[in-house]
Amino acid sequence: MRIQGSYPDRVDAIFNLENGNVRGVKKAGGFSNELAFIEALGNGYYKCTLSGNINASEVKILIGSTSIENKVLSWEAKSNNVNGLILIPSTLKLELNRN
């Protein structure tokens, strides 16, 4: 998962859905207070949370599957991994803090 402001500002996390762990979280550029955690909801479902602070007028959220070989900051690199990923739009939440 990635939250991205203007390049290269981003915070990335890899969530391991096989064992319910956060494999890693890294930032680049102007993000601060980056945090990732995963919570088991039962029946093989997980709530994955990624957050960070950035001063930006626009952000992008990228979500995709990867393989264990990819590093956290390059999780979106080509992968032969074929994992099922189900996103329920009503469960996606974006919070903006306009201080």
pLDDT digits (tens, 9 = 90+) for 29-44: 888 899 999 999 898 8
**73 backbone dihedrals φ, ψ, rounded to 5°:** -75, -5
Q: What is the pLDDT of residue 71?
A: 67
pTM here is 0.73
